Chains A and B, each alone.
Chain A
Amino acid sequence: GNSVTQMEGPVTLSEEAFLTINCTYTATGYPSLFWYVQYPGEGLQLLLKATKADDKGSNKGFEATYRKETTSFHLEKGSVQVSDSAVYFCALSAPKTNFGNEKLTFGTGTRLTIIP
């Protein structure tokens, strides 16, 4: 079956540090890959996505590149801010096998805390 493995948290960094959150996946076919962010007390928000190999998703200074050869989609940011403190989820969507059966498989989430 499909699965997503994220690096375990929590991750604590100082402001302006470089961030990497690792994500690897197992899937049949060619999945689409996503990063979602959950701020305290809120729902999940789509941060970025990539739909095919070598695609780079980017948003708010975050980037992730779809690497088929290593089945990875690591999240990176060059200089983190206190406001980036949140839980980050990697997810994949496998190609639909029947109409309407689109399902996201989520990783376990990585809690990120940025200290001033």
Chain B
Amino acid sequence: DTAVSQTPKYLVTQMGNDKSIKCEQNLGHDTMYWYKQDSKKFLKIMFSYNNKELIINETVPNRFSPKSPDKAHLNLHINSLELGDSAVYFCASSSTVYFYGYTFGSGTRLTVV
């Protein structure tokens, strides 16, 4: 059983398209995150949700819209994709009650052409 699962693993799309990445966790965690990792492996937090409520919203273009239908799911929708959006996007989750760090998904490699 995968603890944090993301789909798709790879996504190749053209500029201007709209795409979504889905994330689900079965750990019973109450907080979920989206991180962006660039080609130099630098990790930058994008969003954080706690029990479906947006907690962290870093400086991210409003073309990126997260949605959390329940505390086990956090999806990321991206409108009007640009070349600079190409990166690996990681979903992660954690527990606020027993915080021992994050559990990460395996990532979605987005390539915009």
Chain A residues in the interface with B (C-beta under 8 A): 32, 34, 36, 38, 42-46, 49, 87, 89, 91, 93, 96, 99-104, 106, 108-109, 111
Contacts and interface: CB of A to CB of B under 8 A. Distances in A.
Interface of B: 4, 30-31, 40-43, 45, 48, 50-51, 53, 55-56, 90, 92, 94, 96, 99-107
B35 to A, nearest CB: 8
Contact of B96 (A34, A42, A89, A102): A102
A43 B56 contact: no
Given A43-B90, A46-B103, A108-B40, 11 more contacts: A38-B41, A44-B90, A45-B104, A46-B101, A89-B43, A91-B101, A93-B99, A102-B99, A106-B43, A108-B42, A111-B41
Nearest to A49: B101
Contacts of B31: 100, 102
Nearest to A106: B43
A101 B48 contact: yes
Contacts of A99: 50, 96
Nearest to B102: A104
Contacts of B56: 101, 103
A100 B104 contact: no
Contacts of A109: 41-43
A102 B106 CA distance: 21
A100 B42 contact: no
